[in-house]
Chain A
Amino acid sequence: MSATGIGAAVRRKEDHRFITGQGRYTDDVNRPGQAHAYFLRSPHAHATISGIDTGAAASMPGVLGIFTGADLAADKIGGLICGWMIHNKDGSPMRAGAHPALAQGKVRYVGDHVAVVVAETLAQAKDAAEAIVVDYQELPAVVDTATAAGAGTVIHDEAPDNTVFNWHLGDKAATDKAFAGAAHVTRLDLVNNRLVPNAMEPRAAVGDYDAGDGVFTLFTTSQNPHVARLVLSAFIGIAPENKLRVIAPDVGGGFGSKIFIYAEETVCVWAAKKVGRPVKWTADRTEAFLSDAHGRDHVTHAELATDGDGRILGLKVHTKANLGAYLSTFSSSVPTYLYAPLLSGQYNIPAIYCEVDAVYTNTAPVDAYRGAGRPEATFVIERLMEVTARQLGKDPAKFRMQNYIRSFPHQTPVIMMYDAGNYGASMKKALEMIDYKGFGKRKRDSARSGKLRGIGFSSYIEACGIAPSAAVGSLGAGVGLWESAEVRVNPVGTVEVLTGSHSHGQGHETTFAQLVSDRLGIPIDNVSIIHGDTDKVQMGMGTYGSRSGAVGMSAIFKAIDKVIAKGKKVAAHVLEADEADIDFADGHFSVKGTDRKLDFGSCALQAYVAHKFNGQELEPGLKEGAFYDPTNFTFPAGVHICELEIDPQTGVTRIERWAAVDDFGNIINPMIVEGQVHGGIAQGVGQALLEGARYDAEGQLVTASFMDYCMPRADDLPSFDVGMTVTPCPSNPLGIKGCGEAGAIASPPAVINAITDALGHEDIAMPATPQAVWRAAQKSISRLAAE
């Protein structure tokens, strides 16, 4: 392994730019003549609009234009779309309500877009927005996930009982049969709390229109600029793709929330032509809370059946999923195909049946958020495993190991074909790292100082590297999920890689360059990674679902294969040898069995000067592209163990130890991978202990700022003990599985399993805030007293 090659902990190339304030984010983009947009948002969760009077506002200082849904409709600008079709149990398509970028006669959540004011300054736009008179007729709000279906108030006429779909997966009859023969059934009711993504950089957009060539340019905070262009062109109708350039420059975190195509960027790019000026919008933090797509929000009843020896026989799950007021871009896939196929966990479960009822509510749209469906599935199965072990009087680690899948490939009853793994190895290592044997003593020590200590497991699996295209297509996806790369070798041997992946914190500029440096034998500084601009980069699918390593880098790998193949042809001419006799290693082309060789840079120069071959034999140049579509999902898996201590006096939970053992397959940069694990655990601990978006009965978001929405801070977290096991992924050339979401998937059940272990009962929901834990601990104490 070289110091900058695959497997090396190379320092991130992009960090100098970021930490010295030289990053270039969308809000840093300022176009000549730029105007500012301000969105007038609904203060009501649910209301019809009988009129919008913009007259007084339009004549206010600095106002360039005020637009409403009627203006968009007049220009034949279509609504926002949901790109994944889900079918009901009876085969009928899901009931999707229209999703206009600006309200058409009705608002459906607090923060919904009513009108946009474009003005010389943001302050002027805000002043004018205050002068717009909207005639609202308030309607009752529907906010509760569990009771939204048939609530009596209809949010979309297309879905008369507020149900988007009733979907199912698995074999109901086989599962019922398994339960009928069970020795034991564990039953749990679980809530997967609603989360606000809170990327550090809020969403932003700058729309521009060049009347000379008729081209729109949109700078936007996107994880997938090509998909944004496709949707804005083909579905919303802004302009044909060749007349719309989408640029996602540096992006400060996304966690899924910047996958989607939102109203604001749609309106900004359209309005740029209307007012003949570039139009900029940057969300403030309140707007981010109100209008970024939220995550999770499931209410679930789940049952696990076991035989007399503790072997799992079957799993039944019924989930109600809140999709919010409108279907966001990929919302329908999250509680369905990104959820139920993961319910088998790491276990041999012969029969699984899952039903999902998805509902509309008068809340912000809900879509993919770090993990997207898989944290929800992992929470269900890992809570069930822990509780079942307790009810059967078994050690939770041993109970899991007893039921682990041991031979691969393994076909689960819910679509997935697990390709490789060694779950027992991760468990064994994690038990050692946390000193499981010493836990009993530590628990007694805690008890002596009046504290309750608990330990909790999470033996998670996830499916990522989201692909292959044919598979997702058969499940309802409107797009293919491959990735593209172009490797452009310059005449002196430096390299530009144009990737369809998009880095918004993941460190692609480093890891992708490591791959190129390693394979071409050139210094890492000779490699530049280019992404995020549809005018520079060929069509690509973007970054989400932990796919950039497994899919994005595999595309680069394939393109490099082609570069090397072409280089061999060039070298054969230069070295006057047969192409079949040319080897490539360590940055040199050489003739087998001789000392004749040509370094990579010289080969590139020869390819471009083209003096040693004629154009009929070989094309000049050295530039190759590839599209990579994998053969399967990848299946990262691992074991996280959380050990914590509760102060029953205050309800404060302190995480004392955390052992994480993950199998991500082969690893390009262990430092970056460890960072991803840390960040993922922090978000998962946030979900388990701190975070929860809450709407009141009127549909007002009461956690609309950091004063009330509790984000994890460094002092809420312990030092993580991170370990790895490696079973290379067989379905991509690099053996990579993906690591971006694992921590957030693994950690919530580990925390709650540890808390319930400490409490001695299961009666606690996420987030387990000090108040909730205090109350639950009082119950533990009174139970102990009663014993």
Chain B
Amino acid sequence: MYAFTYHKPTSARQAATLLLKKEDSKLIAGGHTLLPTMKQRLAAPSALIDLGACPDLKGIVRKGRNVVIGAMTTHAEVAASPEVQEAIPALAYLAGHIGDPHVRHRGTIGGSVANNDPAADYPSALLALGATVVTNKRKLLAEEFFTGLYETALEEGEIVTRVSFPVASRAGYAKFRNPASRYAMVGVFVAKRGGEVRVAVTGAGEGGVFRWPEAEAALKMRFAPKSLEGLKHTAEGINGDMHADPEYRAHLIGVMAKQAVAQAIGK
């Protein structure tokens, strides 16, 4: 790790000011990606702005047809939240299965979506549920927010402040973990809201999280695992590595999608 200055603002506004003022600065939320990278000397920000003391970035509230989660809310808090468990149980389930207990008690939803790791769980939930990412400057739909591998629409000085999830009538999440890292090798989040069905896939795409339109169309006809039978995702555009080549990953998308639907309908 190289030397850096450390700042601990007490509001999102202060954090945003610091972020613009301090050259080559980085925000730190849970730090589970940034700190290991810094320890390996692969990242060397000259200033770290810790969001851990900003109360306006924390908390979970139900607002009408939405569940709104503050950016600095940990995965463990989301998993244990009665509001989330009642409104979108699949989201609580997803949060409760990220990483391990250490990660879940440090990692935050804002950190996860801002980092947009292609193997992170949350992006699939945001995309499938049609969530809105709220920043200190604007509101972005998930599909506008996630722009590529580790890439988002965030601009300089922009901070994710909360994520607003519309409540779905049915939702489910299933993932196949990488045997070593236990990140999602393939994660599929399915959500049914009114007449709309969305199937979002994480872990598998060369460009990060994506939707599977054929599965969405099939599930729109009938929201049941059987509707996905015989449906195969193409291996085109799918990631390959030593743990799973594109063909195997593409196959797992189908298997996980069925499991997610089964979970959504309580089977």
Interface residues of A (CB under 8 A from B): 123, 126, 286, 649-651, 690, 694, 702-703, 706-711, 769-771, 774-775
Contact of B181 among A708, A769, A770 (CB under 8 A): A708
- Chain B residues contacting A774 (CB-CB under 8 Å) are 248, 251
Total interface residues in chain B, CB < 8 Å:
16
Q: Is the CB of A771 within 8 A of B181?
A: no
List the B residue with the shortest CB-CB distance to A691: B180
Q: Is the CB of A710 within 8 A of B255?
A: no
| Contact A710:B176 (CB < 8 A) given known A126-B41, A650-B255, A771-B245 | no
Give 18 A-B contacts (CB < 8 Å), ordered by A residue: A123-B1, A126-B41, A286-B40, A650-B176, A651-B248, A690-B180, A702-B242, A706-B181, A707-B180, A707-B181, A708-B181, A709-B180, A710-B179, A711-B180, A769-B179, A770-B179, A770-B244, A774-B248
> Within the assembled complex, what's the spacing in Å between the Cα atoms of A708 and B241?
10
B252 CB-CB contact with A under 8 Å:
yes
Contact of B244 among A126, A707, A771 (CB under 8 A): A771
B230 to chain A: closest CB distance in Å?
14
- Chain B residues contacting A706 (CB-CB under 8 Å) are 180-181
Which residues of chain B from 136 to 194 have a CB within 8 Å of any chain A CB?
A: 176, 179-181
- Chain B residues contacting A775 (CB-CB under 8 Å) are 248
Which label, helix, strand, loop or mixed, suits the secondary structure of the B interface?
Answer: loop
B1, B180, B251, B252 — which one has the most chain A CB atoms within 10 A of its CB? B180
> Within the assembled complex, what's the spacing in Å between the Cα atoms of A711 and B181?
10
> Within the assembled complex, what's the spacing in Å between the Cα atoms of A480 and B54?
66
Contact of A649 among B1, B41, B243, B255 (CB under 8 A): B255
- Chain B residues contacting A694 (CB-CB under 8 Å) are 242
- Chain B residues contacting A126 (CB-CB under 8 Å) are 41
> Within the assembled complex, what's the spacing in Å between the Cα atoms of A430 and B188?
42
> Within the assembled complex, what's the spacing in Å between the Cα atoms of A707 and B244?
14
Contact of A650 among B41, B243, B245, B252 (CB under 8 A): B252
Q: Is the CB of A708 within 8 A of B242?
A: yes
Contact of B243 among A123, A286, A711, A769 (CB under 8 A): A769
- Chain B residues contacting A709 (CB-CB under 8 Å) are 180
B117 to chain A: closest CB distance in Å?
12
> Within the assembled complex, what's the spacing in Å between the Cα atoms of A710 and B245?
17
Which residues of chain B from 243 to 257 have a CB within 8 Å of any chain A CB?
A: 243-245, 248, 251-252, 255
Which label, helix, strand, loop or mixed, suits the secondary structure of the A interface?
Answer: loop
| Contact A710:B180 (CB < 8 A) given known A126-B41, A694-B242, A702-B242 | yes
Complex interface bits, B40-60 against A, C-beta within 8 A gives 1, otherwise 0: 110000000000000000000
B3 to chain A: closest CB distance in Å?
8
B1, B40, B242 — which one has the most chain A CB atoms within 10 A of its CB? B242
Contact of A771 among B1, B40, B180, B248 (CB under 8 A): B248
| New A-B pairs, 6, CB < 8 Å, besides A707-B181, A710-B180, A770-B176 | A286-B40, A650-B255, A707-B180, A769-B243, A771-B243, A771-B245
List the A residue with the shortest CB-CB distance to B255: A649
B188 to chain A: closest CB distance in Å?
13
Complex interface bits, B114-125 against A, C-beta within 8 A gives 1, otherwise 0: 000000000000
A26 to chain B: closest CB distance in Å?
21
A583 to chain B: closest CB distance in Å?
59
- Chain B residues contacting A711 (CB-CB under 8 Å) are 180
- Chain A residues contacting B179 (CB-CB under 8 Å) are 690, 710, 769-770
B181 to chain A: closest CB distance in Å?
4
Which residues of chain B from 56 to 87 have a CB within 8 Å of any chain A CB?
A: none
List the A residue with the shortest CB-CB distance to B248: A771
Which residues of chain B from 221 to 263 have a CB within 8 Å of any chain A CB?
A: 242-245, 248, 251-252, 255
A558 to chain B: closest CB distance in Å?
47
- Cβ-closest 9 pairs across A and B: A710-B180, A707-B181, A710-B179, A771-B248, A649-B255, A771-B244, A708-B180, A650-B255, A774-B248
A706, A709, A710 — which one has the most chain B CB atoms within 10 A of its CB? A710
- Chain B residues contacting A710 (CB-CB under 8 Å) are 179-180
> Within the assembled complex, what's the spacing in Å between the Cα atoms of A384 and B255?
35
> Within the assembled complex, what's the spacing in Å between the Cα atoms of A708 and B242?
8
A447 to chain B: closest CB distance in Å?
19
> Within the assembled complex, what's the spacing in Å between the Cα atoms of A769 and B1?
35
> Within the assembled complex, what's the spacing in Å between the Cα atoms of A649 and B254?
10
- Chain B residues contacting A649 (CB-CB under 8 Å) are 255
> Within the assembled complex, what's the spacing in Å between the Cα atoms of A286 and B41?
13
> Within the assembled complex, what's the spacing in Å between the Cα atoms of A650 and B251?
8
- Chain A residues contacting B251 (CB-CB under 8 Å) are 774
> Within the assembled complex, what's the spacing in Å between the Cα atoms of A770 and B242?
11
> Within the assembled complex, what's the spacing in Å between the Cα atoms of A771 and B255?
14
> Within the assembled complex, what's the spacing in Å between the Cα atoms of A443 and B255?
23
List the B residue with the shortest CB-CB distance to A710: B180
- Chain A residues contacting B41 (CB-CB under 8 Å) are 126
- Chain B residues contacting A771 (CB-CB under 8 Å) are 243-245, 248
Which residues of chain B from 1 to 35 have a CB within 8 Å of any chain A CB?
A: 1, 3
> Within the assembled complex, what's the spacing in Å between the Cα atoms of A622 and B40?
56
> Within the assembled complex, what's the spacing in Å between the Cα atoms of A722 and B1?
47
> Within the assembled complex, what's the spacing in Å between the Cα atoms of A774 and B249?
11
- Chain A residues contacting B176 (CB-CB under 8 Å) are 650, 770
> Within the assembled complex, what's the spacing in Å between the Cα atoms of A710 and B180?
4
List the A residue with the shortest CB-CB distance to B41: A126
B106 to chain A: closest CB distance in Å?
17
> Within the assembled complex, what's the spacing in Å between the Cα atoms of A711 and B1?
27
B258 to chain A: closest CB distance in Å?
9
A267 to chain B: closest CB distance in Å?
22
> Within the assembled complex, what's the spacing in Å between the Cα atoms of A710 and B185?
14
A195 to chain B: closest CB distance in Å?
14
> Within the assembled complex, what's the spacing in Å between the Cα atoms of A732 and B266?
63
- Chain A residues contacting B3 (CB-CB under 8 Å) are 123
- Chain A residues contacting B40 (CB-CB under 8 Å) are 286
B267 to chain A: closest CB distance in Å?
15
List the B residue with the shortest CB-CB distance to A778: B251
A699 to chain B: closest CB distance in Å?
16
- Chain A residues contacting B181 (CB-CB under 8 Å) are 706-708
A649, A690, A703, A770 — which one has the most chain B CB atoms within 10 A of its CB? A770
A441 to chain B: closest CB distance in Å?
27
